[in-house]
Amino acid sequence: LQQLAAKRLARAKAKAKARVDRRGAHLIKGLDSFKPGKKKSQGDAKRKGSKLEPFAYVRLNPKVTKEKYKGKATDSFAKVIRGAKKGVLKGAKARKADGKKREFAETRKKKQAKGKTRRTGSR
């Protein structure tokens, strides 16, 4: 019976927190729930039993669409945009590193080909 009361209390707290979140600006889902668990892992992680695909989405709140709440509404998108910018920067860094790696491999091949000069008529 005591466990049941504890569960009921936890559920009530969760409901109250959800109510407070809804009262604010647009509701952003997926940023924390799809964060990878391990330190070195990257990208989205799909959780077992989740129906939604692993990406962040914004559930719009119709009460915030008025001009009066314009600042509040735009602030709610800042988190998502910050994450997207971080991803773009990461991709640009990876592309640059890949280009350098490829360039290094090509120069090494050219040097090896230069060292192996063939003599004609040796057969």
| pLDDT per position as a tens digit, 16-31 | 988 877 666 776 665 5
Side-chain half-sphere exposure of 74, counting CA atoms within 13 A: 5
For the beta carbon of residue 73, count every other beta carbon within 10 angstroms. Answer: 19
Q: What is the DSSP letter of 68?
A: G
- Element (H or E) spanning 113, and its range? helix 70-115
Residue 89, token pair as written in the block: 């920067």
For the chain, the domains span 25-38+46-114
At 93-117, the pLDDT tens digits run 888 888 899 998 888 888 888 876 6
Q: Is the pTM of this model over 0.75?
A: no
Residue 81's SS3 state is: helix
47 burial class (0-12, 13-18, 19+ CB within 10 angstroms)? Answer: exposed
